[in-house]
């Protein structure tokens, strides 16, 4: 044996001196122990060829295979890993096409170019390349390749203008650069593996299986035997990797045929397929653009952009037939329950692919809000079958990025509900959410929310907390494009710090106004949200948690044409409506099917304050005949105490119509003050507007909820004749602006009629008026008279002598002195008190208490009147009827004799002065005219009384045609009904004004026309007093001239007749002066002065206090 000077050890050689040996082949090379080999880190640089890199890659594969360790850390493992990275980048080229560029080096062309270069060094380079390509051809398949395709990195952090990171190789298919390529790692993250070119080397079998499959398919496409011949090292590597595959994976690889590569799309550059020795490289079909192709892709029509995957968080085989990333989901896979990374920073579980995915924690909130009330059908109850407890929807905002509320309420595939809540006896609730994915499948997420525990995100444990609050949406209508939405959301919360947010799709909707009318302690808060944009879900934000409320909006049509007539009266307001041009109308109502404010819950159980807050501060559920609330309504507005009319105000937020006024629920909430006397109140144009705005809002909602056509809606409104032109114009502007706001810009649909004329049309159409007819509308503040002679309108006259003149406080009298109040207050009260065990009567008594403390007798009397029509009183048949009590009070008959006597006397005088025939029909309307029943409930008796007055004034007798009196049971409605029935839709203020006529009140012939307030001297007033005195004599003499008519027909107490007459004749001049003073005060508040023309007779000035005195002194 000899010591041979060599590195390897071989025992059987016996060479001395220079002796023939054998070639250093694989065996010898393998026997050379490299002490650093197992962890060699440095790039190997010893290959004496410009194509060293290609050789190194080739040998690296061999080295790794020979080492029997595919997962080593040597430089060879690195080179293999890098080559595979390059292969994968080619495979994923589409995904990185903004970061990678493929350059093509054409062997013949480029070498030829180099060799003819004017640079000697280029020629040297060309010659070198050519020489090695020729002489080393057999080893590297150089003879068989035409082009090398190079990957140039052009993405972020690139260190140089050109950054070749790898290329195709005729020896190993792919080759990497030896440079440090870490700069590109994070930008070139591929599918199913970690960062390319990093220090964590990945053998092929640990890479995304689709990529592996592709690699084996490439081999198959070339022919396995041929591949082994051309790429022996790579082939050996593939075989070695194959051994590490699972049986299933092996099966997949075994099934590959030479055409299996066709399942991938060829990678081509400028029309040329990228190839190596004719092996066509392909693209990863896992991506289309940035979009991963996976069965787990969320099925969302709504979401625009790269759609994330939705992944199950529990292991199991439910989804193993679905393609995950290139490969199917495995039964061992699971997504985390919660992932706090941003979507685009997430790594798909069980891969190292950075791609957005969603898991249960993205969709379900940690907390669910439960409420001990039953939900109405107008809100989505989460398909919860338990009625006693209801829940809000514990979904995240993220859910709504992908799905609409319609999706949420609907089904996913196989007719499964998308969302379900199941409550269990111990108060916990299980929420199931099914997120649709591809292939008609869905991912089912379930979470149990436990009571009295903190949520545990990581354990998928939620927490259920009970909250008490009320909520309503008005109107629950889905507004179509072009229709301006006006929403009010009522919110009554017993939780501190709770607030609502509104979202449309996933956009937060601007809240126009949020009025907190009352803070939440000790009762519920009262809050109103004003929205003028569409929304589709409401978030209840409780600070630490947020749940959603999903209203089920009604879609509406526009088939029906509505006509509304609005009689905005001093005391009462009435609205009639008819459909599609019908002359028949009915009182405005809100039926069960057209509830305007849809509440979240059916009832609020113990939370009475929530229940009453709806009625008190918004609107009752229903309004109409037989309901607690019905039209006509008391003209009243409940304002917030801190309302500021200088700012924008909103109905049902800053103020609302207090339907419960005069009905119940007192004391009134301290935050609100009920205003009456709106119509004639001084200065407050804003208040009138806001009151009417509240009305309009109701009208509009009614139209919407009944498939009405907003733009075709007609609104008829009325004005009293005594209204001055300027005030009329001001009103008109208000009506127009409101019509504009709520119905549109076709102002032809806004019709204005005189209050005086409207009833005529009603009676004419419905009651058959004769040709000579008078309609007298007795309101709260004014009486309007319309005279038709031979069917021709002749006179319109109006005066501030109406029911407030009877029941009010004269000019300056106090409530304490009001006879009616004093006489009946206690009586009514004790009546009620004796019935207070009846349900609801307590409410009325409460109302009584507060109203009787008001400083206005008219309001108190209006309340007295309203008791009889109160639903409770009617349903329980409690015999309380203020009108009847009045009728039974015989001494007070004189008040009504004087009132109606004066009224008819004055009308008769006026007609006579105009030379008109005596009337054949006398039709009364207006709420005030109900007091005619105090005189008699026989129309003939009333007709007789009237005819006596006319006969005496005219000095002639009714011969054949007797005077007929028409009086409706609901005389208030005549105006509105007449408005709806009227055929003259354009009775202009000017035309009506032309019929206007007033006697000044001084004598039988002097008219008010042309007289100005400054002309009203004491002399004039004296004449007025005298003429009133004349009337007093007239009216009292009528009794004696007609066989004690008042006693016999009206049951007037005769004992008080003389006293009554005395009262009537006392202080007439003084009262005339007071009346004028009061009038001037009012004029000033409307910006008028003494230059204004007198628009009504002065005749009634003295009579107003006289009626008051009669009431109190008799």
Partner 1 sequence: MLRALTMLLASGAECAFETIVPIIIDPDDSAADKTRTVEAMKKYMAIREKLDFSNPNLNKFYKTEIKPVDGMANFGFPLNNTRDCLFKDFIKVGELSKESRALVSLLFSEKNLNSDMKVGFKGNPNIGSVVLNQFGTSQHYKDFANGFKEGDRIFIISSIFGGTGASGFPLLLKTLRSDKSSQSWNLISNAKIGAVTVLPYFQVSQDDNSGVDSSTFLSKTKSALAYYENNISKNGSVDALYYIGDNIPASYANHDGGSEQKNNAHLIELCSALGILNFAKMSDSELAGDTKHFEYGLDSNDDAIHSIVFSDLGKKTKEDIQKPLTQLLLMHKYLTYKLHDEYRHQPWAIDNGLNKAFFDDDFFSNVQAFSNYYVEWLSEMSNNTRSFSPFNIGRIKPLFSLINGKSANRPWTIIPFLLKDYALFDNALNSNFKKWNKAANKEQKFMEVFYRATEKLVQQKFNM
Cβ atoms of 366 and 347 within 8 Å: the answer is no
Segment holding 704, helix H or strand E: helix 685-705
Residue 6: CA count within 13 A, CB half-sphere: 22
- The dihedrals phi and psi of 103, each to the nearest 5 degrees, come to -105, 150
Q: Using the rule CB under 8 A, which residue among 112, 127, 239, 1077 binds partner 1?
A: 127
| Cα dist from 453 to 182, 368, 373, 426, 434, whole Å | 48, 12, 22, 13, 25
- Measured from the CB atom, the residue of 72 and 901 that comes closer to partner 1 is 72
- Measured from the CB atom, the residue of 20 and 959 that comes closer to partner 1 is 20
- The dihedrals phi and psi of 601, each to the nearest 5 degrees, come to -120, 155
Least separation, in Å, of the C-beta of 21 and partner 1?
4
Question: Residue 609: CB partners within 8 Å, gap ≥ 6?
Answer: 492, 523, 524
Pairing of strands 367-371, 461-466: parallel
User: By CB under 8 A, what part of segment 93-122 binds partner 1?
Assistant: 103-106, 110, 113-114, 119-122
- From 41-49, 242-250, 566-574, 1055-1063, give the range in contact with partner 1 by CB under 8 A: 41-49
Least separation, in Å, of the C-beta of 97 and partner 1?
17
Least separation, in Å, of the C-beta of 542 and partner 1?
60
Q: Using the rule CB under 8 A, which residue among 18, 304, 555, 837 binds partner 1?
A: 18
Peptide bond into 475 cis (omega under 30): yes
Question: Residue 902: CB partners within 8 Å, gap ≥ 6?
Answer: 801, 1031, 1035, 1099, 1100, 1103
Q: Using the rule CB under 8 A, which residue among 98, 116, 162, 644 binds partner 1?
A: 162
3-class DSSP assignment, residue 130:
helix
- Most distant CA pair in the chain: distance in Å? 172
Sign of CA dihedral 737, 738, 741, 744: negative
Q: Using the rule CB under 8 A, which residue among 12, 35, 555, 1019 binds partner 1?
A: 35
- Measured from the CB atom, the residue of 43 and 444 that comes closer to partner 1 is 43
- From 6-14, 191-199, 546-554, 594-602, give the range in contact with partner 1 by CB under 8 A: 6-14
Q: Is 48 in the site for partner 1 (CB under 8 A)?
A: yes
x/- map, 815-834, partner 1, by CB under 8 A: --------------------
Q: Using the rule CB under 8 A, which residue among 29, 306, 478, 1083 binds partner 1?
A: 29
User: By CB under 8 A, what part of segment 429-468 binds partner 1?
Assistant: none
Residue 872: CA count within 13 A, CB half-sphere: 18
- Measured from the CB atom, the residue of 235 and 784 that comes closer to partner 1 is 235
Least separation, in Å, of the C-beta of 90 and partner 1?
14
Q: Is 1077 in the site for partner 1 (CB under 8 A)?
A: no
Least separation, in Å, of the C-beta of 200 and partner 1?
21
Least separation, in Å, of the C-beta of 52 and partner 1?
4
3-class DSSP assignment, residue 651:
strand
Q: Using the rule CB under 8 A, which residue among 67, 178, 396, 941 binds partner 1?
A: 178
Q: Dihedral angle at the C-alpha atoms of 506, 510, 516, 522, nearest 10 degrees?
A: 10
Q: Is 269 in the site for partner 1 (CB under 8 A)?
A: no
- Measured from the CB atom, the residue of 182 and 1012 that comes closer to partner 1 is 182
Least separation, in Å, of the C-beta of 171 and partner 1?
11
User: By CB under 8 A, what part of segment 137-156 binds partner 1?
Assistant: 138-139, 148, 150, 152
- The dihedrals phi and psi of 522, each to the nearest 5 degrees, come to -85, -10
Q: Using the rule CB under 8 A, which residue among 69, 136, 532, 881 binds partner 1?
A: 136
- From 4-12, 243-251, 906-914, 969-977, give the range in contact with partner 1 by CB under 8 A: 4-12
Q: Using the rule CB under 8 A, which residue among 12, 16, 683, 1017 binds partner 1?
A: 16
3-class DSSP assignment, residue 619:
coil
Q: Dihedral angle at the C-alpha atoms of 981, 986, 989, 990, nearest 10 degrees?
A: -130
Q: Is 1 in the site for partner 1 (CB under 8 A)?
A: yes
User: By CB under 8 A, what part of segment 51-90 binds partner 1?
Assistant: 51-56, 59, 62, 75
Q: Is 236 in the site for partner 1 (CB under 8 A)?
A: no
Q: Using the rule CB under 8 A, which residue among 141, 163, 389, 1108 binds partner 1?
A: 163
Q: Is 42 in the site for partner 1 (CB under 8 A)?
A: yes
CA 514 to the chain's CA centroid: 14
Least separation, in Å, of the C-beta of 158 and partner 1?
12
Quote the CA–CA distance of 742 and 532 in Å, as a whole number: 12
- Measured from the CB atom, the residue of 28 and 845 that comes closer to partner 1 is 28
Least separation, in Å, of the C-beta of 547 and partner 1?
58
Q: Is 333 in the site for partner 1 (CB under 8 A)?
A: no
- Measured from the CB atom, the residue of 175 and 540 that comes closer to partner 1 is 175
Least separation, in Å, of the C-beta of 82 and partner 1?
12
Q: Is 32 in the site for partner 1 (CB under 8 A)?
A: yes
* CA proximity to 723, closest of 776, 774, 782: 782
Size of the site for partner 1 (CB under 8 A): 83
Question: Residue 281: CB partners within 8 Å, gap ≥ 6?
Answer: 90, 91, 149, 168, 218, 266, 267, 273, 274, 275
Q: Is 1017 in the site for partner 1 (CB under 8 A)?
A: no
x/- map, 971-1010, partner 1, by CB under 8 A: ----------------------------------------
Q: Is 33 in the site for partner 1 (CB under 8 A)?
A: yes
| Cα dist from 864 to 173, 663, 880, 931, 1112, whole Å | 102, 11, 9, 13, 17
Long-range own/partner contacts, residues 578-585 (CB < 8 A, 24 or more apart): 578/980, 583/765, 583/980, 583/981, 584/980, 585/976, 585/977, 585/980, 585/981
Least separation, in Å, of the C-beta of 144 and partner 1?
16
Angle at 820 between CA 817 and CA 821, to 5 degrees: 65
- Measured from the CB atom, the residue of 7 and 453 that comes closer to partner 1 is 7
Q: Is 395 in the site for partner 1 (CB under 8 A)?
A: no
Quote the CA–CA distance of 47 and 44 in Å, as a whole number: 8
User: By CB under 8 A, what part of segment 902-921 binds partner 1?
Assistant: none
How big is the chain, counted in residues? 1114
Least separation, in Å, of the C-beta of 102 and partner 1?
10
Cβ atoms of 464 and 367 within 8 Å: the answer is yes
Least separation, in Å, of the C-beta of 99 and partner 1?
16
Pairing of strands 416-417, 411-412: antiparallel
Q: Is 19 in the site for partner 1 (CB under 8 A)?
A: yes
Least separation, in Å, of the C-beta of 268 and partner 1?
17
- Measured from the CB atom, the residue of 79 and 1064 that comes closer to partner 1 is 79
Q: Is 128 in the site for partner 1 (CB under 8 A)?
A: yes
Least separation, in Å, of the C-beta of 186 and partner 1?
20
* CA proximity to 798, closest of 998, 994, 575: 998
Least separation, in Å, of the C-beta of 150 and partner 1?
4
* CA proximity to 803, closest of 907, 718, 900: 900
Q: Using the rule CB under 8 A, which residue among 167, 712, 942, 1076 binds partner 1?
A: 167
- From 158-166, 414-422, 531-539, 659-667, give the range in contact with partner 1 by CB under 8 A: 158-166
Q: In a 10 Å sphere around its CB, with 0-12 CB exposed, 13-18 middle and 19+ buried, how is residue 747 labelled?
A: middle
Q: Using the rule CB under 8 A, which residue among 15, 239, 733, 1077 binds partner 1?
A: 15
């Amino acid at each position: 044996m000899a010591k041979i000077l060599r590195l390897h050890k071989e025992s059987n050689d016996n060479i001395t001196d220079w002796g023939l040996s054998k070639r250093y082949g694989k065996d010898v090379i393998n026997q050379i122990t490299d002490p650093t080999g197992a962890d060699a880190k440095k790039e190997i640089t010893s290959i004496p060829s410009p194509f060293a890199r290609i050789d190194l890659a080739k040998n690296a594969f061999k080295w790794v295979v020979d080492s029997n360790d595919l997962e080593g850390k040597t430089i060879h493992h690195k080179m293999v890993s890098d080559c595979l990275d390059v292969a994968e980048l080619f495979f994923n080229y589409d995904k990185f096409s903004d970061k990678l560029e493929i350059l093509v080096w054409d062997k013949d062309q480029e070498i030829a170019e180099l060799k003819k270069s004017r640079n000697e060094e280029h020629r040297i380079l060309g010659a070198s390349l050519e020489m090695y390509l020729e002489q080393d051809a057999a080893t590297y398949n150089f003879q068989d390749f035409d082009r090398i395709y190079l990957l140039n990195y052009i993405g972020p952090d690139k260190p140089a203008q050109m950054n070749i990171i790898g290329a195709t190789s005729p020896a190993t298919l792919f080759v990497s650069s030896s440079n440090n390529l870490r700069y590109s790692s994070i930008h070139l993250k591929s599918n199913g593996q970690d960062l390319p070119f990093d220090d964590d080397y990945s053998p092929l079998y640990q890479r995304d299986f689709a990529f592996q499959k592709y690699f084996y398919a490439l081999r198959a496409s070339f022919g396995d035997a041929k591949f082994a011949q051309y790429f022996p090292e790579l082939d050996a590597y593939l075989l070695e990797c194959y051994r590490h595959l699972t049986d299933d994976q092996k099966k997949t690889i075994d099934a590959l045929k030479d055409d299996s590569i066709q399942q991938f799309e060829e990678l081509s550059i400028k029309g040329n397929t990228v190839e190596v020795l004719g092996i066509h490289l392909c693209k990863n079909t896992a991506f289309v653009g940035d979009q991963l192709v996976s069965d787990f892709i969320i099925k969302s029509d709504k979401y625009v952009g790269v759609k994330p995957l939705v992944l199950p968080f529990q292991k199991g085989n439910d989804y193993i037939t679905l393609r995950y990333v290139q490969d199917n989901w495995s039964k061992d896979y699971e997504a985390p329950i919660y992932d706090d990374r941003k979507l685009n920073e997430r790594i798909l579980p069980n891969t190292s692919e950075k791609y957005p995915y969603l898991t249960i924690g993205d969709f379900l909130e940690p907390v669910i809000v439960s409420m001990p009330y039953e939900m109405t059908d107008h809100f989505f109850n989460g398909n919860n079958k338990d009625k006693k407890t209801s829940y809000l929807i514990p979904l995240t905002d993220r859910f709504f990025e992908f799905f609409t509320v319609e999706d949420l309420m609907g089904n996913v595939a196989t007719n499964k509900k998308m969302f379900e809540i199941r409550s269990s006896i111990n108060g916990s609730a299980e929420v199931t959410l099914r997120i649709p994915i591809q292939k008609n499948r869905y991912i089912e997420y379930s979470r149990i929310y436990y009571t009295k525990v903190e949520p545990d995100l990581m354990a998928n444990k939620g927490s259920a907390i009970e909250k008490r609050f009320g909520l309503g949406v008005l109107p629950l209508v889905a507004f179509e494009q072009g229709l301006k939405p006006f929403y009010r959301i009522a919110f009554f919360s017993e939780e501190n710090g709770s607030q609502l947010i509104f979202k449309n799709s996933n956009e937060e909707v601007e809240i126009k106004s949020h009025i907190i009318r009352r803070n939440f302690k000790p009762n519920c808060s009262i809050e109103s949200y004003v929205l003028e944009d569409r929304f589709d879900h409401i978030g209840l934000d409780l600070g630490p948690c947020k749940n959603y409320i999903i209203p089920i909006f009604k879609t509406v049509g526009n088939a029906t044409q509505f006509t509304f007539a609005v009689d905005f009266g001093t005391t009462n307001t009435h609205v009639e409506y008819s459909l599609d041009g019908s002359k028949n109308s009915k009182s405005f109502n809100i039926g069960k099917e057209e509830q305007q404010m849809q509440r979240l819950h059916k009832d609020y159980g113990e939370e009475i304050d929530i229940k009453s807050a709806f009625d008190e501060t918004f609107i009752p559920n229903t309004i109409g005949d037989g309901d607690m609330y019905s039209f006509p309504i008391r003209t009243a507005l409940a304002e917030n105490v801190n309302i500021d009319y200088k700012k924008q105000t909103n109905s049902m937020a800053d103020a609302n119509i207090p339907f419960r006024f005069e009905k119940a629920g007192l004391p009134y909430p301290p935050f609100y003050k009920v205003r009456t006397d709106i119509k004639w109140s001084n200065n407050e144009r804003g208040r009138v507007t806001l009151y009417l705005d509240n009305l309009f809002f109701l009208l509009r909602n009614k139209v919407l909820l009944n498939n009405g056509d907003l733009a075709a809606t007609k609104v008829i409104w009325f004005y009293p004749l005594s209204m001055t032109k300027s005030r009329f114009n001001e009103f008109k502007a208000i009506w127009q602006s409101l019509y504009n706001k709520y119905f549109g810009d076709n102002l032809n649909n806004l019709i204005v009629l005189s209050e005086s004329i409207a009833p005529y049309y009603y009676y004419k159409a419905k009651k058959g008026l004769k040709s000579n007819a008078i309609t007298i509308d007795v309101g709260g503040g004014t009486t309007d008279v319309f005279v038709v002679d031979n069917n021709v309108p002749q006179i319109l006259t109006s005066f501030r002598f109406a029911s407030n003149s009877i029941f009010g406080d004269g000019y300056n009298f106090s409530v304490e002195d009001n006879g009616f109040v004093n006489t009946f207050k206690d009586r009514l009260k004790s009546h009620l008190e004796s019935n207070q065990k009846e349900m609801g009567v307590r409410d009325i008594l409460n109302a009584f208490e507060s109203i009787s403390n008001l400083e206005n007798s008219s309001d108190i009397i209006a309340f007295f009147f309203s008791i009889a029509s109160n639903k409770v009183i009617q349903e329980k048949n409690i015999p309380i009827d203020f009108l009847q009590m009045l009728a039974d009070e015989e001494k007070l008959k004189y008040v009504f004799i004087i009132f109606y006597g004066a009224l008819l006397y004055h009308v008769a005088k006026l007609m006579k002065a105009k030379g008109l025939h005596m009337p054949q029909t006398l039709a009364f309307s207006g709420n005030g005219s109900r007091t005619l029943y105090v005189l008699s409930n026989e129309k003939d008796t009333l007709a007789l009384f009237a005819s006596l007055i006319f006969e005496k004034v005219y000095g002639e007798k009714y011969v054949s045609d007797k005077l007929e009196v028409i009086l409706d049971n609901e005389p208030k409605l005549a105006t509105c009904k007449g408005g709806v029935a009227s055929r003259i839709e354009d009775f202009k203020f000017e035309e009506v004004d032309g019929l206007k006529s007033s006697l000044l009140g001084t004598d039988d012939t002097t008219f008010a026309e042309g007289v100005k307030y400054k002309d009203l001297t004491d002399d004039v007033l004296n004449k007025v007093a005298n003429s009133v005195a004349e009337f007093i004599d007239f009216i009292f003499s009528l009794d004696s001239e007609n066989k004690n008519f008042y006693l016999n027909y009206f049951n007037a107490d005769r004992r008080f007749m003389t006293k009554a007459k005395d009262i009537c004749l006392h202080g007439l001049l003084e009262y005339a002066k007071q009346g004028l003073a009061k009038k001037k005060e009012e004029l000033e508040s409307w910006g008028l002065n003494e230059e204004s023309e007198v628009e009504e007779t002065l005749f009634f000035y003295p009579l107003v206090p006289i009626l008051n005195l009669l009431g109190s002194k008799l």
